[in-house]
Structure 1
Amino acid sequence: MRLDADGVGIARHDGKDFIVAGAYPGEKVTATIEAKGQFRLVGRLRRVIKAHPHRIAKRCDSLTSCQGCPLLCLDEAAQFEIKQIRIRSAFNQYPQLKGVEIAPIWSAPEPFGYRSNAKLVFGRKRGMVQLGLYRRGTHDVVDLAGCPLHHPLINRIASVVREEVEKQEIYIYNAEKGRGLLRYLLIRVSPSRNKAMVTFVVAERDLKQLPHLAKSLQKRVPEVVSVQQNVNATTGNIIVGRDTQRLAGVTDLLDQVGDIRLQLAPASFFQVNHAQAARIYQLVRDWARLQASETAVDLYCGIGGIALHLARDAGRVYGIETIEEAVKNARANALLNDLRNCIFIAGDAEEVVEDLCNEIQRAEVVVLNPPRSGCQPQVLKAAASLQPRTLIYVSCNPETLARDLSLLHPLGYAADAVQPVDMFPQTAHIETVVRLVPITL
C-alpha cells in the first residue's frame, strides 16, 4: 500500500491499481470494488484488520466515499511526516536541491472548519436531490450532510439549498441526457465578516426559478449577501463558465486578511484557509524587506493578496494575473486599501512578463505564486532577468516547485530558506514558501 499525491491509498489487485481512500501504508484492510476501469479499480474501505500506528477515530461518515480529506484518520504527526517526505522526495530528484534544509511545517491553528469556499455538484438519486462531491474516478455524486473541513456557514447554506431545490422541484442537470438546470453550487465565505456569496452554475440562463430560489435562500440564511448564476453549457469537466449574472444582493464579497481588505468575485481565486494565508503573506513581506524606493513584481497575483501586502512597504508593485475578473478585483482592492502604488496587468504571465521586463528592467523583489502546474520556463527566465535581490516562490505542488527551483539554479538563484505551511489539514496537499537569493561564486 502506498499513497498517491492526493493522499489516497493505492494497492495492487489483479495487475491493476486498486484505489482505497482511508487506507494507509503498512495497513491490512478489506475493501469492496465499486468501479472498474481498464487500468484501475476504485474500492471502498470496509474494515481495518491491521491499523497504522498513528490511526485515530474516524471524524466523518462520508470519508470512504467522498475521499476529499484522505488523511482524516491520521494524527497531525503522521500527516506532517507524509508531507515532509513528499517535499524531500521531490527535492531529491535534483542534485542541486538535495542539501537544501526544509524547516518544520507550520501547523494550522484550526485543523477543521477552515475551508472558506466550496464547489459542490448537484445530483439526484432515487428521486432525492444530492449535493456533494464526485466519488473518485466516477461521476457518482456523494451526498454530503456536512463536511468537517468546511466553514460552518458553508454547511448551513448547502443544507438549505438542498431543501429548497427539493421543495421547489428545480431540475438537476443530467450529463448523460444533456438536460436539466442546476449543475454546481459554489459557496464563498468571508470568515472575517461571517458573510457568504453563493453562485449557482447552470446549464442555461434562468430568470424564472433561480430568482425565487435566491430569495428563499437569503430569507433563511441572512448571512448570504450575494447570489449569482453562472452559465456553463459545455459538456466537459470545466465547472465555471464565462457568463455570470447577479441574482440578488451585492456583486462582490468583502473580506479581510491581516490588515488588507479584499473584494472577491465568484470566479476569483483565493486561498481557502484565511489564517494560514495571512501567515504566508506576512512571511513574504518579512522576507522581501522592501524599502520605499524599491520595486516588486508579483506574478500570478490573483486578487492582489500578496501584492497589496508588499505595497505597504514598496515604492511600486506590479501584479500580473490571467483572470480578468481577478484583475478588476485587485485594482479595486488597491483603492479599497488606499494603495496608489500598484499596477495590475491582465494576461498570461508567460505572454506579459517579457514586456514588463523591458519596461521596468529591474525589480528588487519578485514573487512567483503559480498554479499547480508551476511556471513556464520563459517566466522563470524573465523573473531572473529582473535581477532581484530576493526571489520568493509560493507553491502548492512540491513536484513542480522542485522542478522550477532546479531551473532557476542555472539562472543564478538558489534556495536559502524553505518553509512548508499546512494550508490544507487532513489532506496530502502542502503549501511551501521558498526564498531564493543570487548565487555568489
Structure 2
Amino acid sequence: MQCDYFDAGACRSCTWMGRPYAEQLAATQAHCAELLAAVPTAADLAWLPPVPSREAGFRSKAKMVVAGTVEAPTLGILGPDGRGTDLRHCGLHTTGLHVALPVLAGFVTRAALTPYDVPTRRGELKHLLVTESPDGELMVRLVLRSREPVARVRKHLPWLAEQLPGLTVLSVNLQPEHKAVLEGEVEEVLTARATLPMRVGDVRLHLRPQSFFQTNLAVAAALYDRARSWAAGEGRVWDLYCGVGGFALHLAGPGRQVVGVELSAEAVASAEQSAREQGLGPGQVRFVAGDATAWAVGAAARGEQPPDLVVVNPPRRGVGEELAAWLEASGVRQVLYSSCNTASLARDLAAMPSLRPVRGQVLDMFPQTAHHEVLVDLRR
C-alpha cells in the first residue's frame, strides 16, 4: 500500500507502511511462533496459515483528534508541537468514512465547535469518533470538554443528518480533563436510535457509543467463525471479556448454554439486545456485567461448576495470574484464547501447563503494523 501521508512524513503510525504485504504476514507469523515456541507445552502447536486482510479500506472506525480552528479544523493526529495534522483521507478507512469526515469537518464550522488547543488548553471539541457499519450506517461521537456546545450540536443536527443519510447514532461524550484519555464517562445520545447494528457473518451485533468493537470487520468475522468451528461439542460455555457478545452469540446454539461476562454495562446491554433479536432466551445465552476474573473465581461460592469450554479475549495485558491459575485448576476441557499481544499470551500459557496449545492461527486485524490477533486452541 502506498500512502501520501507516510511518504511526506506527516504520519508514521503505520510502521510497516510500504513493506510488501506477504512479508508483513510472514513476519507476524514468525514473531508469534517464536514467542510461543518458548512455552514448554506448545511443542506440538500446529499453525494454520494466517488470515489476511485487505491492505487498504479495511478500518471501519476513525479516531480523529480535532485541532486547528473553527474555520479550518484538522481531523487526524497531533504533531510534536501539539498542532494538528489533517488525515481525513487516510487510506485505511472505509469508503463511508472517506465520505463522512469532510462533511463532519464542515459540521465543526457550521456548529462553531472550537477545536481544543492542547498547548493553550482552550477550546471544546477534542475528538471525533466515527464508526461505519457494513450496511453503510454511521455512529458519530463528539468528545467535548464541557456541555457548552451541546445546544449548537442539537440545532445543527438536522443539517448533518441531511448531509449524511446514513447517520444513525450521534452522541456527545464529556472529557473535561487535560490528559491523554480519549473519552470520559458521561455520554449523551442526541438521536432517536442509540445503537449501531453491525452485521458480522450471520450474526447482527449492536454497538453502543461506549462499547468496544473490532475495527476490521472482515477479519473479525473470520475470528468468530474460526472459534465456532474449533469449539468442541455441546455443553456449557463461558465467554470472558465478551464485549458486545461476538464470540458468545456465534457459539450459542442447540445443546449449548453460553454465559458472557464483560465489565462494561454498555457492552452487556448491547449483547442482550442482539440476543433478543436472534431469538435466544436466557437458557441459551445470558450476559453478566462484572469483572471476568472475579466472576470465574467466584463460581464455586455461587455453587456453579466450571463449564466445558471457556473463551477468553482479554486486553493486551492478558488474563493475568489469578485467572490463569483458576483455569489451570478448574478442570475445563477446552479454552479458546484470542489475544492481541502474543507476549502476554505466552506468559499466560506458561502458567497453565495442563492446557496444551494444539493449534493456532494469526488473524491480521491491523495491516501495515506489527499489531495482530492470534487465536489458540487449548486442550486439557
Common fold: TM-score over 0.5? yes
For residues 243 and 116 of structure 1, what CA distance do their matches in structure 2 show? 24
Q: Distance in 1 between matches of 2:296 and 2:328?
A: 11
Determine the structure 1 residue equivalent to 2:19.
Answer: 74
Distance 1:72 1:62, change over 3 A: closer
1:117 touches 1:188 (CA, 8 Å); kept in 2? yes
Q: Which has the higher strand share?
A: 1
Deviation per CA, 1:235-291, whole angstroms, max 9, x where unpaired? 221111111111224111112111111111011111111111111111111111332
**Pairing partner for 1:119 from 54, 57, 63:** 63
**Is residue 47 of structure 2 the alignment partner of residue 105 of structure 1?**
no
Q: Deviations over 1:285-321 (max 9, x none)?
A: 1111332xx1000000000010011112443111111
Say which is worse superposed, 173-182 or 98-107, in terms of deviation: 98-107
Number of residues of Structure 1 aligned to a counterpart in Structure 2: 375
Shift in CA distance, 127/224, structure 1 to aligned 2, threshold 3 Å: closer
CA deviations on 1:302-359 (whole Å, 9 max, x unpaired) are: 0001001111244311111111100111111111111111121111222222123543
Q: In 2, are the aligned partners of 1:301 and 1:319 still within 8 Å (CA)?
A: yes
Task: Give the greater-gyration-radius structure (CA).
Answer: 1
1:65 paired to 2:6: no
Please tell me whether the aligned partners of residues 302 and 321 of structure 1 are also in contact (alpha carbons under 8 angstroms): yes
1:399 aligns with 2:343: yes
Indicate the percent of aligned positions where both proteins have the same amino acid: 31
Tell me, yes or no, if the aligned pair for 1:357 and 1:386 is still in contact at 8 Å: no
Q: Contact conserved, 1:113 with 1:148, CA < 8 A, in 2?
A: yes
Question: Is the partner of 1:216 in helix, strand or coil?
Answer: helix
TM-score, normalising length: structure 1: 0.80
Q: 1:194 aligns with which of 128, 132, 136?
A: 136
Which residues in structure 2 correspond to 1:291-440 (within 5 Å)? 291=234, 294-340=235-281, 341-358=284-301, 359-409=303-353, 412-438=354-380
Give the unaligned 5+ runs of structure 2.
none
Q: Which moved more, 1:367-376 or 1:314-323?
A: 314-323
1:147 aligns with 2:94: no
TM-score (norm 2): 0.93
Maintained 8 Å contact 1:357/1:385: no
Mapping for residues 104-253 of structure 1, pairs under 5 Å: 104-108=49-53, 110-124=54-68, 128-135=72-79, 139-191=82-134, 193-205=135-147, 206-253=149-196
5 Å matches for 1:257-276?
A: 257-276=200-219
Give the aligned residue type for 1:317. V
C-alpha contact 1:97 1:406 (8 A) present in aligned 2: no
Q: Which runs of 5+ in 1 are unaligned?
A: 1-56
Query: What amino acid is the match of 1:334?
Result: A
8 Å Cα contact 1:195-1:223 kept in structure 2: yes
Measure the CA separation in 2 of the matches of 1:344 and 1:284: 19
Report the more deviating stretch, 84-93 or 260-269: 84-93
| Higher mean C-alpha displacement, 325-334 vs 213-222 | 213-222
> CA deviation digits over 1:16-43, x for unaligned, max 9?
xxxxxxxxxxxxxxxxxxxxxxxxxxxx
CA distance in 1, matches of 2:82, 2:373: 28
Local SS of the residue matching 2:298: helix
Residues 201 and 126 (structure 1), Cα distance of their counterparts in 2 relative to 1, 3 Å cut? closer
Paired residues of 2:58 and 2:94 also in contact (CA < 8 A): yes
Alpha carbons 1:133, 1:141 under 8 Å: kept: yes
Q: Whose RCO is larger (CA < 8 A, sep 6+)?
A: 2
Partner Cα separation in structure 1 for residue 232 and residue 249 of structure 2: 14
Letter in 2 for 1:221: L
1:101-159 C-alpha deviation (Å, 9 max, x unpaired)? 43321122x32211111211101179731111234x66443211311111111122111
What is the CA–CA distance in structure 2 between the aligned matches of 1:208 and 1:365, rounded to whole Å? 49
RMSD: 2.0
Q: How does 1:272-283 map to 2 (within 5 A)?
A: 272-283=215-226
Q: Shift of the alpha carbon at 1:408?
A: 1.3
